[in-house]
Amino acid sequence: MTEPSIFTRIVDFANRADPYPLFQQLREQPVRREEDGTFVVSTYREIEALLHDPRISSDGSNLLPEYAAKAPPTDTPGSPGASFIRMDPPDHDRIRRIVNRQFGPPHRPTRVADMYPDLEHIVTRLVDGFAGKHQGDIVDDLAYPFPVAVICELLGVPPEDEPRFSAWVEPIVDSIAQLTPDRLAKRDAALRELGMYLFGLAQQRRQNPGPDMLSGFVTDDGPEGRLEGPQLMATLVLLLIAGHETTVNLIANGTLTLLRHPQWLERLRQEPELSIRVVEEVLRYEPSVHFLPNRTCVADIGMAGMTITKGAPITLVLAAGNRDPEYVRDADVFDPERENNQHLAFGSGVHYCFGAPLARLEAQIALTQIAQRLANLRLVEDPPPYRPSPVLRGPIHLPVTFDEVKPAG
């Protein structure tokens, strides 16, 4: 029997809690070819170069047929089609610009900043929920409900529908990790139901627009037109999914990292302005998205002594790049005060995370309140139990104990 490759061992759930020594081995050869033909890229400069290379494609139709057959289908009948995260320029850029009209500068320069009081309010309410107890679960009680409430508010999903949402989102996220026929069927059923729900909501907002993004999508006519039909549905599903588990993991990974580095938990308690640096370093040190598994290329690319062949699948291991000692000084040290903290946690290039300003703000507010209000916070289990996904990696639960809940400042 042949030895499993380093990448196979990284994907293995047994190594989920600490894949970092394996990433170190992986980086010894920046570009590797797996037995199934996938090219795995693990060093900072190579990942960054590929993310900016116009020969790289996010469109699954550029995979050679032998690989496309194994790739997750995105256009199941009745479900929303491919969203702009799976498109290449110029189509990608056009849709991203239309979507961005409702989210950021130049058309909505204060959208994220305006959400600050609401974000504070949601976190305060969730942390208040720990009062009267001495133990809780940071994931179930805070890291999970917070981003769900935020993304629902942003898009205009009524709060009473949030629980239905989680039930649809889970099978979709599960399918990103491992695609079995059973998971695929559940994912497609969830996508269909979510798509139908969002379609109904879009109709309502067309009649009765509010301040939310969905109302903007269905009423605003920019120079490049509106999103309609399947494109609108695919975009809404993308925003919901992309803004969901990733942020949950950032808050959970951040809390775990601070508990493992109590000097930084204490510094954050005393100096809340450090939250910006703390979040940036958590993004580098324990990123929520460990790999980007959905790339291919439209021409052969020579790199690090290998040829990445046209049409083959490419996996970019962002989490390995973030700890590349050739690029980052003391890469395995958690140091929020490091200078020039550039990382790959939000990707790079044309697909750079659309929601990064919001995700950063959410995590800054959540980690600050955790540090300031949960007195003498301690981990119950180290390592905590992890979610199955090697791609969207984070604890499924983070049980903690504390002495008391301090009032919000």
Helix (H) or strand (E) holding 106: none
Residues 260-299 that bind ligand HEM (CB under 6 A): 288-289, 292
DSSP one-letter string for 336-357? TT-SS----TT--GGG--TTHH
Nearer to ligand HEM, 296 or 402 (CB): 296
Which part of the chain contacts ligand HEM (CB under 6 A), choosing from 40-48, 234-242, 320-328, 394-402? 234-242
Contact of 169 with 237, CB cutoff 8 Å: no
- Spell out the residues 6+ positions from residue 202 whose beta carbon is closer than 8 angstroms to its own: 214, 217, 218, 232, 236
Nearer to ligand HEM, 202 or 242 (CB): 242
Helix (H) or strand (E) holding 395: none
Question: What string marks each residue from 349 to 388 as x (binds ligand HEM by CB under 6 A) or -?
Answer: --x-xxx--xx-----------------------------
Which part of the chain contacts ligand HEM (CB under 6 A), choosing from 23-31, 68-76, 238-246, 319-327? 238-246
Residues 40-79 that bind ligand HEM (CB under 6 A): 58
Nearer to ligand HEM, 297 or 405 (CB): 297
We find the least distance from the C-beta atom of residue 400 to ligand HEM, in angstroms, to be 20
Q: Which of 7, 84, 146, 334 binds ligand HEM (CB under 6 A)?
A: 84
Nearer to ligand HEM, 239 or 268 (CB): 239
Nearer to ligand HEM, 278 or 405 (CB): 278
According to DSSP, residue 369 is labeled H
Site membership for ligand HEM, residue 146 (CB under 6 A) = no
**Token reading at 403:** 């002495």
Residues 328-347 that bind ligand HEM (CB under 6 A): 345-347
In DSSP terms, 392 is beta-bridged to 289
What is d(CA 361, CA 266) in angstroms, rounded to the nearest whole number?
20
Which part of the chain contacts ligand HEM (CB under 6 A), choosing from 190-198, 217-225, 239-247, 304-312? 239-247
Number of residues written out for the chain? 409
In DSSP terms, 57 is beta-bridged to 296
What is d(CA 112, CA 91) in angstroms, rounded to the nearest whole number?
26
**Among all residues, whose Cβ is closest to ligand HEM?**
355
Contact of 282 with 257, CB cutoff 8 Å: yes
Q: Which of 6, 115, 250, 282 binds ligand HEM (CB under 6 A)?
A: 250
Contacts 24+ apart (CB under 8 A), 38-42: 38/312, 38/313, 38/314, 38/315, 39/306, 39/308, 39/309, 39/312, 39/313, 39/314, 39/315, 40/7, 40/314, 40/315, 40/317, 41/303, 41/314, 41/315, 41/316, 41/317, 42/317, 42/320, 42/321, 42/324
Nearer to ligand HEM, 16 or 351 (CB): 351
Nearer to ligand HEM, 320 or 345 (CB): 345
Question: What string marks each residue from 165 to 204 as x (binds ligand HEM by CB under 6 A) or -?
Answer: ----------------------------------------
Cis peptide before 106 (omega within 30 of 0): yes
Q: Which residues bind ligand HEM (CB under 6 A)?
A: 58, 84-85, 96, 238-239, 242-243, 246-247, 250, 288-289, 292, 345-347, 351, 353-355, 358-359
